[in-house]
Amino acid sequence: MKRLFPILGVLTAILLSYALYLALVVAPTERTMGDVQRIFYYHVPSAWTAFLLFFINFFASVAYLIKRNPKIDAVAVVSAEVGVVFCTVVLVTGPLWARPVWGIWWTWDIRLTSTLVLWLIYVAYLMLRRFSTSSQTPVLAAALAVFGALDVPLVYFSIWYFRTQHPQPVIGGGGSIDPAMLHVLLINWLAFMCFAFLICWSRYRLEMVRREVEEMQSLESLLELRGAR
């Protein structure tokens, strides 16, 4: 598996480069917004990737509450960390796109606000994992993750059921998209998912090594304490 990682890394880099070329050169220019609309090819795939990672975190958290398996807990931690990164990209690219189109950086409508709340929930999740030293931290974090996952459907469906300034979804929600743009969008999403997978894979290996080291240190401390007695 370790030999496979560099190969996948090279293939992902090629795919990301190709997706960048499609987004900046090949994709047609949107008639109303012009070239600034090309942020769309990073904003939307980042959001979809973040949602996918948060759902993985949700299922891993539920599984951990049932089985209490440390490996499952590690999957939950890793998916939350990478999900927060992609959600941050969403919150950065959104205002960059909104400023020239809407004339404002931010507006407190339901889609934007619920996305910010989602980001804050998972940042709180990571802070709990980082700074709490209680033995019950994984359980508390899993419960928080289950609660946080409830905000994902709210973010996605908010523009369907609430009046909002955010555009309608381009797939299955009343919006429309040029087939050439849809092709570029899906290629970029595939590239982003491959990149996220590689990050999660690498981070999972580091997380498992970190836990093994902590267990060894705890065991050594226990043995030293018994020896002192």
pLDDT, tens only, 106-124: 878 888 888 999 999 999 9
Q: Answer with the residue of higher pLDDT: 128 or 163.
A: 128
Average pLDDT over every residue of 179-191: 93
* 34 strand-pairing partners: 30
Please tell me what DSSP assigns to residue 109.
-
* pLDDT cut 90: percent of the chain above it: 54
Q: Which two structure tokens, joined as six digits, stand for 20?
A: 């960048």
User: CB under 8 Å to 172, separation ≥6 — which residues?
Assistant: none
So what's the pLDDT on residue 108? 81
| Contact yes or no for 84/123 (Cβ under 8 A) | yes
Residue 175 has pLDDT above 60, yes or no: no
Q: Under DSSP, is residue 22 helix (H, G, I), strand (E, B) or coil?
A: helix
pLDDT tens by residue, 11-68: 999 999 999 999 999 999 888 888 888 999 999 999 999 999 999 999 999 999 999 9
Q: What per-residue confidence (pLDDT) applies to 126? A: 95
Has residue 176 got a pLDDT over 70? no
Selected residue with higher pLDDT from 161 and 189: 189
Q: Report whether pLDDT(165) > 70.
A: no
CA distance 78 to 71: 11
